[in-house]
Structure 1
Amino acid sequence: MADVYLADAPTGRPVAVKVLRAGAGAAGACRREYRLASAMDADCTAPALGYGSSAVGAYLVSAYLPGYRCATTLAGEPTPTRQLWRFGAALARTLAGVHARGVVHCDVKPSNLLVRGDDVRIIDFGIARYIGEQGGGGVVECSRGWAAPEQLWTTAATPAVDVFAWGCLLAQLANGVHPFASRSDQEWILRLQSAQPDLFGLPPGLDDLIRVALARDPQDRPTARELTEICRDRDDEHPPPAGQPRRGRAASWPPIRDVATLAATVRLTPASRLP
């Protein structure tokens, strides 16, 4: 949907410039993203600095964060348990900050996360929505592998969407396999709507937390703030005495009669495709 460049501001300060691909509504989309991103606390994202239009297209300027790396670099070998709890707490804290501003990111995935130690920032508010905002135009924008079941229908945005993506990401970091890995868009849609996630080999304690974060019914998922507290309180050798998180139950989603038609209404970003 866009290209991102490292550039120098007139002051000499390095910045990141996101240039949207040419298309109708690009300027409006850029203005909306700036409004959403600039409402965030500075410690949750790369602060938005400005936006505008040029001969090459609409653009958004954000602060460049030296020392941070994209979370896609975390993929590969399974992550140590202690690091998983810390990363889970940091990401949940960031999501709680986003939700506290009345926004749902709707696209939590490795390529939209910047990491430095225990600090996790979320970027790219291109398809973010305000809490309760309905999807528009009959087209659902999401990333394959990181969308919640309810995102495939034009329902009102809720923070539970981002919690589901949190669960997918932690599961993949824990065992190296995405819980809804699939070979095609149609297979992913079917798995997401009707199959249980693959959660083998997860660390004790974290397995229950991830399972409830992936509950099909969004009302059964914990909040980002609850995830933060659980991950922070977790001690690898002495689990906290608090009760287990609520377990999810199967939700009743509209039946899928024509997978190809549904897939055609889901606008998937190429960079998000899974093996």
Structure 2
Amino acid sequence: MGSLDGTRRIGRFTVERTLGNGGMGKVYLCRTPAGLRLAVKVISAELAHSRAGRIRFHREVEALRDVRSPYTLPLYDAETLTPPYWLASRYVEGPTLDQHVRKRGPLPERRVAELGAMLAEALAGVHAHGLIHRDLKPSNIILEDGEPRLIDFGIVRSDSWTRGLTDPMSPPGTNGFIPAESLRGGEPTPAVDVFALGVVLVFAATGLLPFGHGLPATLRIYQGVPPRLTGVPAALAGVVRSCLAPAPADRPGPDELMAELGALLKPPPGAGRPVPKPPHPPTVPVADPPHHCHAPVPPAAGGGCALRPVAARLLAAGLSRPLIRKAVLHREP
């Protein structure tokens, strides 16, 4: 079965269907000869014939090869020499964060904190390789068993790569997720990803974007309009507000974010601990009481009551007189 556009094979992979269209091309669900499912991204012919488009594609391939994180999808294979250019990564069945929230509603406070901590760890891995994602948003986060998978490194940036591929008046990214310094033409830093993460967390917690949608959202950010955080739980609001700080130097780094969100996930002191019971009063042995047994049993050999040896052993064990009385008067059924 081929895709709707008639594409049946990409390299050695069989196309099952089209997964979606992106800014750089199309993504297909494919299978290897052995049956493994892959997401294969093919860049458009227009970009393939553009030097800037080819450089962007090579950047994405190199980024996926370099970054190793449980929250990113590893590169399986790629074609970077002969058109059509494509890259293949592991396919994830789960919905995007955007789809999940729009279908099921905002996430509970704890789930938002967990999601934020995992995404911060993903960004820490990306930034450790000198890379900046620059397009972190709910539609680029796939949920797999409740955990995020960060995808689409198509506009990733590294200081070691060629600069000047994009128009400063039209910075790469998505309206409502681009910080003010990028809108003013500044060189991107890892802080742009932290800003976008703050927007993502507001969306996860409320189903809304803090600056709105489209060009009006970009204008609000550019003008320094404060974000709308209505509905964000109080415990998360401080973390989110720091991510959305207008100045990049005022935003926390991914490691600091992991620590702050991790603190929100810890149970309060004493939570879950059993309530201690008051100690039992110690058992005080009693002196050998005078014998007043009238139990109708034959005396043991050597004289005396047959129950006295039992009582003596109980006394030696330190049991109280009421317990001894219960024991010696107990009758077997």
TM-score normalised according to structure 2 size: 0.65
Spell out the pairing of 1:140-219 with structure 2 (5 A cutoff). Answer: 140-182=171-213, 184-185=214-215, 187-194=216-223, 195-219=225-249
The answer to whether the 8 A contact 2:69-2:125 is kept is no
Asked if 1:10 is matched to 2:33, the reply is yes
1:120 to 148, 154, 160: 148
Percent identity between the two aligned chains: 33
Q: Distance in 2 between matches of 1:114 and 1:123?
A: 7
Q: Distance in 2 between matches of 1:167 and 1:8?
A: 36
Post-superposition offset of 1:30: 2.1
| Partner SS for 1:136 | coil
Cα-Cα RMSD: 2.3
- 2:99 aligns with 73
Post-superposition offset of 1:236: 7.5
Where does the alignment leave 5 or more consecutive residues of structure 2 unmatched? Answer: 1-22, 270-333
User: Which is higher, the Rg of structure 1 or of structure 2?
Assistant: 2
Spell out the pairing of 1:14-163 with structure 2 (5 A cutoff). Answer: 14-23=37-46, 24-25=50-51, 26-52=53-79, 57-65=84-92, 67-76=93-102, 77-131=105-159, 134-139=163-168, 140-163=171-194
Q: Distance in 2 between matches of 1:4 and 1:46?
A: 14
TM-score normalised according to structure 1 size: 0.78
Deviations 1:119-142 (A, max 9, x none): 222111110101587553434211
Post-superposition offset of 1:102: 1.2
Post-superposition offset of 1:54: 9.3
Q: Distance in 1 between matches of 2:88 and 2:62?
A: 12
Deviations 1:71-124 (A, max 9, x none): 222323222111111111111111111111211100001111122245222111
The answer to whether the 8 A contact 2:201-2:240 is kept is yes
Post-superposition offset of 1:216: 0.3
Q: Distance in 2 between matches of 1:13 and 1:70?
A: 21
The answer to whether the 8 A contact 1:163-1:221 is kept is yes
Higher relative contact order (CA 8 A, sep 6+): 1
Post-superposition offset of 1:229: 1.3
The answer to whether the 8 A contact 2:59-2:156 is kept is no
Post-superposition offset of 1:154: 3.0
Post-superposition offset of 1:56: 7.2
The answer to whether the 8 A contact 2:39-2:91 is kept is yes
